[in-house]
Amino acid sequence: MDRKVRVRFAPSPTGPLHIGGVRTALYNYLFAKKHGGDFLLRIEDTDQTRFVPGAEEYIIESLKWLGIEPVEGVGYGDGPHAPYRQSERKLIYKQYAMQLVDAGHAYYAFDTAEELEGMRERLKASNVDAKYDAITRGTMKNSLTLPEDEVKRRLENGDQYVIRIKLPRKEEVKFFDEIRGWVSFNTSQMDDKVLFKSDGMPTYHLANVVDDYLMEITHVIRGEEWLPSAPLHVLLYRYLGWEDNRPSFSHLPLLLKPEGNGKLSKRDGDRLGFPVFPLQWKDPFSGEISSGYRESGYLPEAVINLLAFLGWNPGTQQELFTKEELAEAFSLDRVSKSGAKFDLNKAKWFNQQYVRMLDDQTLANILENQVKEKTSGVDFSKEFIFKAAQLVKEKVSFTKELWEYSFFIFQIPESLDEQVVSKKWKPELKPVLAEIKSAFDAMNKFTAEDAERVYLEVLEKNGIQSKQFLQMFRVCLTGQAGGPPLFELAALVGKESCSARLNHALTILP
Ligand code: GLU
């Protein structure tokens, strides 16, 4: 019988979650949804020296904001495999380390830090790759080299020790990666990794494998940086007798800098002005603030969509996907092997598409707050603000830009775009502009169509082509070189305001 699909996101709480990590969570989530499976959140906090306060809460809040919500895990109630925080599972791991020792697949090592350093120095001096492995372990202080009674005595004495895996000297470890195909490593390139420490804590490798097994994980989907650990994990499943239940492996491509060379880092974000974290983060030690997608005005739906496309594509032209559509379309065989370049313009484009999809009332409410903040005291009707938001919504990439793209609707511009004036304005045009103003003043009904008709009539009378004058006329009304459909804007601000704006332009233009 096929096992129910169960996948997990297993971050370590060592700082804010990088968007690469968010993408890993998303792909796991989509995969679970696609296959009617479970998505779990497990916190891998065995390395207490790297623990950062607030990081776990940050991870949970990020997943909530994006709607990538687990069905089991830290912050999600008591699932059948609770607890989901590895530090609280401490007592589970030792028996598996002991099982490996008893079966001859692991051993105790008592080497001090100085002894390990001495070994490394020695090997480096003779140009050999310095690692604790099938060859060097014979020269070190461990249960393979020390007499049995000394090992016993040291353990009883409470001497410091670690348990290391005993790798075969030269053996090919092959496994199938769902994204990369067959992958092969040789144990001669690997080292006898520490699995367990005398402080009672397992290391990442042991805890990760034990928990994936106990939590019945069927597919491990994680970042490429874990690919070199995978052969060790494959061997652990074999040595623990769990090969039949070993999850499949998928290692996701790296997220690359916009230029494509190297991994996307926080520094790239700072340098190019985009966040690499989902939410704003304040470093608890240095107080340094790093920007987040949420605070920068990205909508969660846009972040989901843009992250989905960083390393995956649907194989069609469609670019806009809801989370549900993504879950439907997602498959591991369309995840690329090569790194995915972060593209800031594309990220903004995605956000713009989702801002356009917001309903007009939501946008109007956001704009209303901005208007209140910027024009203290002036009272604009809700209807006026609603129409203004409708007029400019196509232009903005972020809702926080609404005011920036519409302020000239609420205020008569103080200055006129200099470039347009220097290119398009001639003093001979002044009487024409004055004539348009008078014609506007004489109108009864002031709709967009009427205003445009009257404007065209005056131009025609003066032998001027609208194409040549329109941008200048826009500058006279709004101060800006570009903006929303001009006569709709004119109708919205109304006859009096248009008249005042043209008057103002007539006084400042030469
Ligand atoms: N704790 C690891 C991390 O921080 C998890 C790796 C894995 O998914 O196996 O990314």
What is the three-state SS of 413-440?
CCCCCHHHHHHHCCHHHHHHHHHHHHHH
The predicted model gives 145-173 an average pLDDT of 97
For residue 181, the cross-strand partners are: 177
pLDDT tens digit string along 479-494? 999 999 999 999 999 9
Pocket test for ligand 1, best of 222, 232, 249, 263 (most atoms within 8 A of CB): 222
Measured from the CB, is residue 8 less than 6 Å from ligand 1? Answer: no
Q: Which atom of ligand 1 is nearest to the CA of 44?
A: 1
Q: How many residues does the chain have?
A: 510
Q: What's the pLDDT score for residue 376?
A: 81
Q: How far apart are CA 87 and CA 229, in angstroms?
A: 21
Identity of the residue numbered 19: I
Measured from the CB, is residue 10 less than 6 Å from ligand 1? Answer: yes
Q: How far apart are CA 266 and CA 277, in angstroms?
A: 8
Q: Which atom of ligand 1 is nearest to the CA of 208?
A: 9
The predicted model gives 230-246 an average pLDDT of 98
Q: What's the pLDDT score for residue 77?
A: 83
Q: How far is CA 453 from CA 52, 460, 478, 498, in A?
A: 66, 10, 19, 15
For residue 172, the cross-strand partners are: 186
Which residue's CA is minimally distant from atom 3 of ligand 1? Answer: 11
Measured from the CB, is residue 44 less than 6 Å from ligand 1? Answer: yes
Q: What's the pLDDT score for residue 294?
A: 97
Q: Which residues are catalytic?
A: 266
Does 271 or 133 have the greater pLDDT score? 133
Q: What's the pLDDT score for residue 13?
A: 96
Q: How far apart are CA 45 and CA 29, in angstroms?
A: 21
Q: Which atom of ligand 1 is nearest to the CA of 8?
A: 8
Instruction: Return the DSSP state at 247.
Output: P
Q: What's the pLDDT score for residue 378?
A: 79
Token digits of residue 442: 């004489």
| Ligand 1 mean position, distance from CA 28 (Å) | 13
Give me the long-range contacts of 54-57 (CB less than 8 A, separation at least 24). 54/284, 55/13, 55/14, 55/15, 55/16, 55/17, 56/13, 56/85
How many CB atoms are closer than 10 A to CB 469?
A: 21
The predicted model gives 210-222 an average pLDDT of 98
For residue 324, the cross-strand partners are: none
Q: What's the pLDDT score for residue 1?
A: 59
**Omega before 278 within 30 of 0, i.e. cis:** no
Q: In what side-by-side order are the strands of the sheet with 172-177?
A: 181-186, 172-177, 248-252, 219-223
Measured from the CB, is residue 73 less than 6 Å from ligand 1? Answer: no
- CB burial of residue 121 (10 Å; 0-12, 13-18, 19+): exposed
Q: What's the pLDDT score for residue 2?
A: 82
Pocket test for ligand 1, best of 44, 209, 212, 246 (most atoms within 8 A of CB): 44
Q: Are strands 340-341 and 255-256 parallel, antiparallel or unpaired?
A: parallel
Token digits of residue 19: 């968007």
Q: What's the pLDDT score for residue 129?
A: 84
First-residue to last-residue Cα distance in the chain: 85
| Ligand 1 mean position, distance from CA 260 (Å) | 24
Q: Which atom of ligand 1 is nearest to the CA of 204?
A: 1
Q: What's the pLDDT score for residue 395?
A: 93
Q: Is the pLDDT of residue 52 over 70?
A: yes
Question: Cβ(339)–Cβ(253) under 8 Å?
Answer: yes
pLDDT tens digit string along 15-46? 999 999 999 999 999 999 999 999 999 999 99
Q: Please, where are the H alpha helices in 242-359?
A: 266-272, 300-308, 323-329, 344-357
Q: What's the pLDDT score for residue 260?
A: 85
Q: Is the pLDDT of residue 261 over 90?
A: no
